Structure 1
Amino acid sequence: MTTAGLDVGGTKVAGVALARRDGDGAAREGADRILARIHRPHAIAGPDSLVDALEGAVRDLDAQLAAVGEPPIEAVGLAIAAWLTRDREVVTWAAHLGVRDFALRAALSARLGMPVTIDNDANGYLVGEAELGAARGAHSSILIALGTGVGGAYVADDRPLIGAHGLAGELGHVTVDEHGPICSCTARGCIESYAGGNALARDAASVEAAVALAPDGRPTAEHLAAAARAGDAAALALMERAGWAVAAGLRRLLPAFDPEVVVLGGRVLLECTDLLLPVIERELAAHAPLQGVPQPRRLVLAELGGLSAAVGGAVLAERAGRAEAAR
């Protein structure tokens, strides 16, 4: 069976077609299982345009498969930047997509005529890294992903933690300072309020060197990082603070979850690894939780780039198909 995995964020749709490991013909392993891929911007604004965009992505992947003689897609897994009901049937709120209280799984399944599985994008990201990327072989892992905001997930024995209301794994909203900046969730001092892309862009507006690098005078996290690399003291201090916030959050999360692997990912972190990772490692070494207890674990960078969540969506669809077949 070939499954499609789609990752829908605030500005882009990424997708892959994934072959089963035990499919027909020669066994495929690792990245060889990815038969086709797409990555493109979107202008989704509401439920109808969301379903249209997702259908178009699946049709494009199917066309790529047909062109190389591969079998068509039989099931779809979607990793979406949204809050979902616990049963993963309904998008309760997707702020960047203009979608609220929409029964997406049923609507997309009816449009495509095939089974659809849905989870949030952070869970998909970590499932993808656990299957083909940095967390492969681990029995438990957590994810901190710095993007526009800060995503998080916890996977143990191949299963993402969902929680009582479908909202577990919002690790970016762990509080590291009750008197810190106001977060997008309206609380103060979340990891996201220091280290998310929007937070770094907010802070960059007060750094002259970062403003000077922005053609329109509105700096982003990338401009702040460039100013820091050029030696600007204010920019360096803000990047240091972002790294501190991630480490402070991990100091709270590690005793709670005891993961075998910690995956650090997301566009902002992976593009600013040189500035952030040394701070995170230094802070964790200086303030390790449970210091009297041996804690063999790995702090690793995500390996699949922009395909992590799409791969995870495809894997979740494949697993759902196996579970259904076993009933």
Structure 2
Amino acid sequence: MTIAGLDVGGTKIAGVALADRGDGGPAGGSAVGGAARWSLDDVLARTHRAHRIHGPESLLDALEEAVRELDAQLAEAGHEPIRAVGLAIAAWLTRDREVVTWAAHLAVRDFALRAALADRLGMPVTIDNDANGYLVGEAAMGAAADASSSILIALGTGVGGAYVADGRPLLGSHGLGGELGHVTVDEQGPVCSCTARGCVEAYAGGNALARDAAGVPAAVALAPDGRPTAVHLEQAARAGDAEAIALLDRAAWAVAAGLRRLLPAFDPEVVVLGGRVMLECADLLLPVIERELGAHAPLQGVPQPRRLELAQLGGHAAAIGAAVLAAR
């Protein structure tokens, strides 16, 4: 059977078609003996495009179009058509993963998406949030493929997070388990998008870095419209600007401070660090994270960090994870 995995963010849809081997082993994890159930060879087709989704109907239209595009690629290559769909979406979902309670970037609220998409496509549909999909993908065939438990910290526009054990993401009582970007590291810190103070996201998310970049003359000078983003802050840091370097160091400190709280709580085998900001600034951020964890290790006597790995699957990680979840 061929399964589609789709990842819907604020501005793009990424998709894959995954061959489900059906050869046993824990769903979304490693098979008996440590051999990964899936590999990149099982990804039969890919798509990646921008979208202008605004509201439920345009969301359904865009998802159907992505599935049809993948099916066309499969037909051209002589593969079986898609029989099931997994979706990873940047949204808050009910615990049963039936209803999108709020997807701010898509203008979708209180929408029974799973049933509506299954009806539109005429096939089974599985839904989870994008961070869970991201880590399930990395656990299936990426940075955490050899681990039974892992956590994800993903620095993008905000800071996503997830915890996966034996291939299954933590959902929590309200479906919001794994919101690791909203771990508080300083109660007197900046206001976060969630309205609390001092979350990891308030220091290390792309929006937070853009906010801070506005006060760095070197970053402002790099922005054509005078409104710098995290990219301009990175460029200023690479040019040697002390203020930009200090802000990125502070972002890395916040990630490490969050991990110091998370490692004793979850005891993961692997910490996966991903997201556009993290991966593009890894050489600037990772040494500070490692230094901070080494200097202030929780659970003295336990190796720290257990293992830090950069995400490996790029922009299709969450789509791969969504397909893996649907393969169950």
TM-score, length-normalised on structure 1? Answer: 0.95
Code of the residue aligned with 2:119 in structure 1: it is: A
- Counterpart of 1:323 in structure 2 is none
Q: Which amino acid is 2:5 matched to?
A: G
Aligned to 1:125: 134
Alignment of 1:220-299 (within 5 A): 220-294=229-303, 297-299=306-308
CA deviations on 1:90-116 (whole Å, 9 max, x unpaired) are 000111111110000000000000000
Aligned counterparts of 2:152 and 2:301: Cα–Cα separation in 1: 24
Range with greater deviation from structure 2 (149-158 or 288-297) = 288-297
Instruction: Tell me how far 1:22 sits from its aligned partner.
Output: 4.3
Q: Which amino acid aligns with 1:117?
A: T
Rounded to whole Å, the distance in 1 between the matches of 2:240 and 2:60 is 46
Q: Which whole-Å deviations, capped at 9, do the CAs of 1:134-187 have from their partners, x for residues lacking one? A: 000211000000000000000001110001010000000000000100000000
Match of 2:31 in 1: none
What's the counterpart of residue 322 of structure 1?
Answer: none
Supply the distance in 1 between the matched residues of 2:77 and 2:37 (Cα, whole angstroms): 16
> Following superposition of structure 1 onto structure 2, how do residues 1-327 of structure 1 map, counting pairs within 5 Å?
1-22=1-22, 29-294=38-303, 297-319=306-328
- Offset of residue 14 of structure 1: 0.4
Q: 2:303 & 2:79 partners in 1: Cα distance?
A: 48
Supply the RMSD in Å over aligned alpha carbons: 1.3
Q: 1:297 to 1:121 in 2, by over 3 A?
A: same
CA–CA distance in 2 between the matches of 1:136 and 1:118?
A: 22
Quote the Cα distance in structure 1 between the aligned partners of 2:4 and 2:185: 38
Q: CA deviation at 1:293?
A: 3.4
Structure 1 CA distance for aligned equivalents of residues 164 and 113 of structure 2: 24
Q: Secondary structure at the match of 2:207?
A: helix
Where 2:115 maps in the other structure, the secondary structure is helix
Cα distance, 1:315 vs. partner?
0.2
Residue ranges of structure 2 left out of the alignment (5+ in a row): 24-35
Cα distance, 1:280–1:245 mapped onto 2, change above 3 Å:
same
Secondary structure of the 1:6 match is strand
Q: TM-score by structure 2 length?
A: 0.94
Kept after mapping to 1: 8 A contact 2:37/2:140 = no
8 Å contact from structure 1 (residues 20, 28) kept in 2:
no
Match of 2:30 in 1: none
**Partner letter of residue 220 of structure 1?**
T
Matched residue SS, 1:96: helix
Residue 296 of structure 1 and its aligned partner are, at CA, apart by: 7.2
1:247 counterpart SS class: helix
3-state SS of the aligned residue for 2:162?
strand
Task: Give the paired residue count.
Answer: 316
Question: How big is the shift at 1:292?
Answer: 2.9
CA distance in structure 1 between the aligned counterparts of 2:37 and 2:130, rounded to whole angstroms: 25
Superposed CA deviations along residues 249-268 of structure 1, whole A, max 9, x for unmatched, are 00000000000000000011
Partners of 1:260 and 1:296 within 8 A in 2: no
Q: Distance in 2 between matches of 1:212 and 1:6?
A: 38
